Structure 1
């Protein structure tokens, strides 16, 4: 690598010394703008956000048991050596978003278009948060230094601090009334909030809420601050951050939809089925069927709802894998065709990056930890109610009577005094099915899967199940992080990887900073 770098440097010096402007101008097209504006750069960024999560969800989805079917090593908490699989969030942060967001900030600051600056900072905050929650220690300070070819890793606590800084800077820029940033200039490029600064500010507070609520095992955890952030974040489903998909071709269709055919071999899981039929809720004998069930999952041919345990090919006592539906609602990998499927697994459905429902469950957890059970119960009910409305809008309408029957049933805690952290976290796990992959994994890890958090809470005990055998490199331990992207790091940055232990075969089982006391 050093030889290549030296030769390139010599070549650059020779060109500079020869007065080469005309030589380089051969690549300049006067009919094509050489400087791309912020409004041109912005729309594709939203697709990058969706792409990063969904590509890696093929593996992470199995680990957190949103997807089953023994499709890949994800369900065994494993990894694939010498492969970029599981590295799409990394690619999104550093290549899909990274430099493009820097260009937008520079371009927009020069034009005094502060809403574009705020948007770029908000996406940066979201991306750093998502990437560190997925990978742990990452490259932060040196990330976009073009004069380097070796990059040092920064500890996760530094990335968490940078997320807070960026989100607050974004809020400041969206709050400015000076400059030249107008709704008319911003709205055409803003596919999410149509240039509404107030909604972008709320998105930033949602990022801050995630950031602060992941720290429940730290002495610095402040539930009151988490509640404050949530109260300033998304106020209803109308403010959900949804990346739209046209869904007319495989090129513009939802990655999870039948046109893309990426989920044919995946199967619905036992944990999702058990939450929807009340088996895993606090009073299963008196629980009722969740009205979201028919919209979210599908029955087998005998009209019984079943799901696979982790890393299981055979369905058990009655049906084999090919008789358990995949997320589209099809059997045996059959493609139901364009515009078919269900829930978040249709071609033209948008992909949620953040929802009001998630924020309410974050608030419920924080209020519970704070000791304000009344507030926790209200937020818990808001989370369930808004999730039902969200799911209803993506399929067969759930009637007010069906919704009321569930909310007043034994499946939902009716009093603040009876509410437990388990009730909150299991309903959150269910509500985020199909989109909240990284956030759900954060919850599982901060509770140490089934072992519990520092306060002894064990919401996933006897619900989440480890595979019958972990991946061979795990040493019997569950996964805690995914490795940095192979092509950009293991090929070119190995010395830096060794400093954080990422050269070790069990690196993916090293606990995250955020989940430790």
Structure 2
């Protein structure tokens, strides 16, 4: 499996750079490498992890898919039994690949006075560190990426990292605004084609996400959030990587590994999401899942494989991911739901309904569906009608359930982060759930006690074995610092 993923990393990077850059070569070693090619490699590295292993992991933890009864490759995720051998390859890809490449791009951009490219690389760096710290908590940050100068970096607290990440964004924005040099990377930016207006909107949306992640902590900052809301300069087009082909080693990373190479035998629809769609007459069901071998939509309660020991994956619906499905970093729908949450928390809900409605509509657009059906669902009397409530948490629940429903195979790991942060949809035990309103269940095959579910990952043993400054966790239930609800 590791060999398959490693081969996929290699070919994805080569494709992203049009076979002009060997990503196994440290970009700090050559005397001169075009920073635009290294930026593409960094983006390819990031989306390979986001669209590959984190789509798979997030799909289990956010309950978009569960393990097929007749296979067992991902029982560790479905049973909450991920150990210290998990995620080592992706950890290395993000640090030694993506982040190291972005450091090179930022250094070259500084030398060239290219404030636009510096801003793009900074935003991708902040996004990557945010994903890492939200998965693991305390991680190497301030002492990371120093190469031989420090091969055993200390970890920084997740709280301190968030403060620094926001400062990084602000510093790069200030530098660009004071000297607005349009990025020179052009089409080598596979996300926004070096359109600086789009990247400025991405910066504001990313900041809003970081601030709201801290909403239940003492670091919540309503003033900063409302300043962003009032400026109203958020993404208007999805931030996505689409450089995929229907060919081996060039396809969407989840498709390339799970469907094409392994044979589509593991991931089957979880009842948590499929039943939510089905019972609400939501046409997104056909965008997110394929029909089973009886031409129907069918699913399995999370982890409930032992009761159906002889059923193949084909007996259930499976993820509708193709070779050319983009990998998304952020979507307009996600931005709308972030804004709706901000307005509920810090503006007494004024304007939240419109942002909620736009979130649902834009989710349909991202999935390529007719938005008139979204309009029916959010209209008066519709199953997704927004009901204003004096209780902020009741209003917020509506937003978060729809956000969860909008992130399936768009950004699975982000859905897991948001479930951990807000506790919506709620996680109940099998038999107490109501899939119609949006509920998760404790995996029926969980190895954890007391109906607990994972909150973070163990550090990879490949890191703790060589770095004495990383102290291994005692449990997957250890919470991320912002998880304080």
TM range, smaller chain: 0.7 to 0.9
Checking the alignment, whether the CA contact within 8 Å between 1:68 and 1:266 is kept in structure 2 is yes
Within 5 A, what are the aligned runs for 1:11-30? Answer: none
| Alignment partner of 1:441 is 2:441 | no
Tell me what 1:242 maps to: 240
Tell me what 1:218 maps to: 217
Tell me what 2:333 maps to: 357
The alpha carbon displacement at 1:243 in A equals 0.7
Equivalent in 479, 483, 490 of residue 464 of structure 2:
490
Moved more, 67-76 or 410-419: 410-419
Tell me what 2:254 maps to: 256
| Alignment partner of 1:410 is 2:382 | yes
Q: 1:200 to 1:315 in 2, by over 3 A?
A: farther
- The CA distance in 1 between the partners of 2:48 and 2:263, in whole Å, is 13
- The 3-state SS of whatever aligns with 2:240 is strand
Tell me what 1:130 maps to: 131
Checking the alignment, whether the CA contact within 8 Å between 1:246 and 1:348 is kept in structure 2 is yes
- The CA distance in 2 between the partners of 1:125 and 1:367, in whole Å, is 25
* Alignment root-mean-square deviation, CA: 3.0
Q: For 1:440-480, what per-residue CA distance to the aligned partner results, in whole angstroms no more than 9, with x for missing partners? A: 1222112346779xxxxx999971101124325x6753211
Equivalent in 443, 465, 484 of residue 467 of structure 1:
443
Higher relative contact order (CA 8 A, sep 6+): 2
- The CA distance in 2 between the partners of 1:401 and 1:144, in whole Å, is 49
Q: Which runs of 5+ in 2 are unaligned?
A: 1-28, 69-73, 428-432
Aligned length, in residue pairs = 436
- The CA distance in 2 between the partners of 1:349 and 1:497, in whole Å, is 36
Q: 1:213 to 1:263 in 2, by over 3 A?
A: farther
Q: For 1:375-430, what per-residue CA distance to the aligned partner results, in whole angstroms no more than 9, with x for missing partners? A: 111111000011111112xxxx52x5434333325212255359732221111101
The alpha carbon displacement at 1:304 in A equals 3.9
Within 5 A, what are the aligned runs for 1:360-375? Answer: 360-370=336-346, 372-375=348-351
Checking the alignment, whether the CA contact within 8 Å between 1:268 and 1:326 is kept in structure 2 is yes
Q: Which runs of 5+ in 1 are unaligned?
A: 1-31, 279-287, 329-344, 453-457
- The CA distance in 1 between the partners of 2:319 and 2:211, in whole Å, is 32
Q: 1:348 to 1:172 in 2, by over 3 A?
A: same
| Alignment partner of 1:118 is 2:92 | no
Q: 1:229 to 1:433 in 2, by over 3 A?
A: farther
Tell me what 1:25 maps to: none
Within 5 A, what are the aligned runs for 1:148-227? Answer: 148-177=150-179, 181-183=181-183, 185-223=184-222, 225-227=224-226
Checking the alignment, whether the CA contact within 8 Å between 2:235 and 2:332 is kept in structure 1 is yes
Q: For 1:180-210, what per-residue CA distance to the aligned partner results, in whole angstroms no more than 9, with x for missing partners? A: x445x22132121122111111111122111
- The CA distance in 2 between the partners of 1:262 and 1:159, in whole Å, is 40
Tell me what 2:481 maps to: 513
- The CA distance in 1 between the partners of 2:384 and 2:450, in whole Å, is 39
Checking the alignment, whether the CA contact within 8 Å between 1:270 and 1:309 is kept in structure 2 is yes
- The CA distance in 2 between the partners of 1:240 and 1:479, in whole Å, is 29
- The CA distance in 2 between the partners of 1:227 and 1:209, in whole Å, is 9
Q: 1:465 to 1:415 in 2, by over 3 A?
A: closer
Within 5 A, what are the aligned runs for 1:32-431? Answer: 34-53=31-50, 54-69=52-67, 71-81=74-84, 83=85, 85-145=86-146, 146-177=148-179, 181-183=181-183, 185-223=184-222, 225-229=224-228, 232-236=232-236, 239-257=237-255, 258-261=259-262, 263-278=264-279, 288-313=280-305, 321-328=313-320, 345-370=321-346, 372-392=348-368, 397-398=369-370, 401-408=372-379, 409-417=381-389, 420-431=395-406
- The CA distance in 1 between the partners of 2:53 and 2:444, in whole Å, is 25
Tell me what 2:25 maps to: none
**Bigger-Rg structure (1/2):** 1
Checking the alignment, whether the CA contact within 8 Å between 2:265 and 2:313 is kept in structure 1 is no
The alpha carbon displacement at 1:228 in A equals 4.0
Checking the alignment, whether the CA contact within 8 Å between 2:142 and 2:156 is kept in structure 1 is yes
Q: 1:62 to 1:263 in 2, by over 3 A?
A: farther
- The CA distance in 2 between the partners of 1:459 and 1:35, in whole Å, is 59
Q: 1:378 to 1:87 in 2, by over 3 A?
A: farther
- The CA distance in 1 between the partners of 2:179 and 2:153, in whole Å, is 39
